[in-house]
């Protein structure tokens, strides 16, 4: 491995900062919800940069963008790297974006040094990874991997009833390429979104597997009534039931610690009036664990607990699981390529499990896959103050460069 071959860290950092100028927030973060005009601007900039780097652009029917640098053997499938450009409403500058622009930086570095690879090399931007505007998350990479069918993906609607199909057409990213095609390997660079690497002062996380996840939507229905005349023992208070569910979910997470996570992230109360007992509450539940058997037990606890709470509170309920994937174990050869690349540069590294969902988790169903983690300051992500050090950005990109080269194969000697 040519240890002298490194990315241009300053160029990568400038690209990150230039992209952050699209949809900036007051506290220094980013807001580019999927398939909005701001997302289109980010996509346009990425495509322009890729064309300048000599890439051929193709876009599939879910709007996923593939920027390909040719290999010397056009019959071989590409080695790809990517992530997403969409963000949370109050997101950071690096979540997802770092992985997309690291893929581009690898291509730029290969160009700088005139390096030819046997396999084509691609930078990828996946659509709607966050799931903030269109649920569920990672839906476009899920369609690519055959987890969801195309009709399901395109029919996902936002709070205003606009579908992904409509918005892809509106912003000009409804591609004509069919969904899914062979990849020789896929890598995804990402900030850790947790505190382990930064607290242990480690530069690179070699991601071995990913937690399984289940997402639910729950509606609790009671009876709206006046807050004054209605006796306490006669109430059918949907919000009180929701509060009990919040506590239930927290207890399920604690009961399966330290690896479990359990969260209620959204509550919509109806009619949301100060002197009306709430008659209906919509809420979301998110549970995660790296062991699928434990995740199944957590699922049983959620379902049984919600049923009991609704019964005791005299409420009706509708609990629907809208998203599930089992724990993902990444490809051993790709994990080894990341590990070897980190060691060859002398970076401190450790194996790590991702607690977040990533497009890599779905792509792993159809291609050898692994991830590269870099630290983020205080472990904070999905927050405007999310931040990294430029040196960490460079380190992760150097690891990606050599891991991808190991899979793509040099054909220039």
Has residue 2 got a pLDDT over 70? no
Strands 65-69, 121-126: parallel, antiparallel or unpaired by DSSP? Answer: antiparallel
pLDDT band at 413 (very low <50, low <70, confident <90, very high): low
Residues 183 and 274 in one domain: no
Per-chain mean pLDDT for the chain: 96
Residue 124: domain span? 9-211+327-408
Percent of the chain whose pLDDT exceeds 90: 95
Residues 236 and 248 in one domain: yes
Which of 211, 189, 142, 208 lies closest to 365 in space, CA to CA?
Answer: 142
Read off the pLDDT of residues 150-169 as tens digits, 9 standing for 90 and up: 999 999 999 999 999 999 99
Domain-embedded: residue 4 = no
pLDDT band at 280 (very low <50, low <70, confident <90, very high): very high
Domain-embedded: residue 413 = no
Domain-embedded: residue 287 = yes
Has residue 4 got a pLDDT over 90? no
Residues 82 and 219 in one domain: no
**pLDDT confidence of residue 325:** 82
Distances (CA, A) of 45 to 42, 70, 90, 180: 5, 21, 21, 24
Give the domain-ending residue among 325, 351, 381. Answer: 325
Residue 382, classed as helix, strand or coil, is: coil
Residue 366's Cβ-count burial label (10 Å; 0-12, 13-18, 19+) is middle
**pLDDT confidence of residue 221:** 98
Has residue 1 got a pLDDT over 60? no
Q: Lowest-pLDDT range, 251-255, 257-261, 359-363?
A: 257-261
When pLDDT is averaged across residues 331-349 and rounded to a whole number, the result is: 98
Has residue 45 got a pLDDT over 60? yes
Determine contact, residues 138/361, Cβ cutoff 8 Å: yes
Residues 206 and 337 in one domain: yes
Query: For the chain, how many structural domains are there in total?
Result: 2
**DSSP structural state of residue 345:** T
Give the domain-ending residue among 309, 325, 341. Answer: 325
Alpha helices in 266-320, H assignment, sequence order: 292-312
Determine contact, residues 371/207, Cβ cutoff 8 Å: yes
Determine contact, residues 209/330, Cβ cutoff 8 Å: yes
Read off the pLDDT of residues 296-330 as tens digits, 9 standing for 90 and up: 999 999 999 999 999 999 999 999 999 888 899 99
**pLDDT confidence of residue 3:** 59
Residues 145 and 58 in one domain: yes
**pLDDT confidence of residue 165:** 98
Domain-embedded: residue 83 = yes
Domain-embedded: residue 244 = yes
Q: What is the CA radius of gyration of the chain?
A: 23
Percent of the chain whose pLDDT exceeds 70: 99
Read off the pLDDT of residues 101-127 as tens digits, 9 standing for 90 and up: 999 999 999 999 999 999 999 999 999
Longest distance between any two alpha carbons in the chain, whole Å: 85
Has residue 410 got a pLDDT over 80? yes
User: Residue 63: which region, alpha, beta or left (left: phi > 0; alpha: psi -120 to 50)?
Assistant: left
Contacts 24+ apart (CB under 8 A), 149-158: 150/61, 150/62, 150/179, 153/62, 154/61, 154/62, 156/128, 158/133, 158/134
Residues 220 and 195 in one domain: no
**pLDDT confidence of residue 254:** 98
What number of helices (H) and strands (E) belong to the chain? 12, 16
**pLDDT confidence of residue 371:** 98
Determine contact, residues 356/212, Cβ cutoff 8 Å: no
């Amino acid at each position: 491995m040519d240890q002298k071959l490194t990315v241009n860290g300053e160029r990568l950092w400038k690209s990150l900062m230039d992209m952050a100028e699209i949809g900036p927030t007051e506290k220094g973060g980013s807001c580019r919800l999927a398939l909005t005009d701001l997302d289109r601007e980010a996509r346009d900039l990425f495509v322009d940069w890729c064309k300048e780097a000599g890439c051929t652009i193709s876009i599939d029917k879910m709007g996923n963008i593939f920027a390909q640098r040719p290999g010397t053997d056009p019959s071989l499938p590409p080695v790809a790297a990517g992530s997403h450009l969409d963000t949370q409403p109050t997101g950071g500058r690096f979540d997802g974006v770092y992985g997309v622009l690291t893929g581009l930086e690898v291509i730029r570095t290969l160009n700088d040094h005139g390096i030819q690879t046997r396999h084509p090399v691609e930078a990828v931007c996946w659509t709607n990874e966050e799931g903030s505007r269109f649920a569920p998350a990672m839906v476009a990479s899920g369609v690519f991997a055959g987890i969801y069918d195309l009709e399901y993906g395109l029919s996902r609607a936002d709070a205003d009833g606009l579908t992904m199909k409509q918005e892809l057409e509106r912003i000009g990213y409804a591609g004509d390429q069919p969904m899914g095609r062979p990849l020789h390997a896929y890598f995804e660079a990402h900030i850790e979104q947790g505190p382990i690497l930064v607290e242990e002062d480690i530069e690179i996380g070699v991601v071995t597997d990913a937690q399984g996840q289940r997402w639910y939507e729950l509606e609790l229905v009671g009876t709206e009534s006046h807050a004054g005349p209605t006796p306490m023992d006669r109430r059918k208070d949907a919000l009180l039931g929701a509060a009990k569910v919040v506590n239930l979910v927290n207890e399920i997470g604690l009961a399966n610690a330290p690896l479990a996570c359990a969260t209620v992230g959204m509550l919509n109360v109806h009619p949301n009036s100060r002197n009306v007992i709430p008659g209906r509450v919509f809420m979301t539940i998110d549970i995660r664990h790296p062991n699928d058997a434990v995740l199944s037990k957590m699922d049983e606890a959620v379902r049984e607990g919600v049923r009991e709470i609704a019964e005791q509170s005299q409420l009706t309920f509708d609990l629907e699981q809208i998203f599930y994937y089992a724990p993902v174990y990444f490809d051993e050869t790709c994990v080894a390529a990341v590990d070897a690349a980190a060691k060859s540069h002398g970076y401190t590294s450790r194996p790590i499990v991702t607690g977040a969902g990533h497009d890599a988790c779905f792509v792993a169903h159809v291609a050898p896959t692994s991830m590269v983690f870099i630290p983020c300051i205080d472990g904070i992500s999905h927050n405007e103050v999310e931040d990294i050090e430029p040196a960490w950005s460079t380190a992760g990109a150097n690891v990606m460069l050599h891991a991808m080269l190991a899979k793509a194969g040099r054909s220039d000697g």
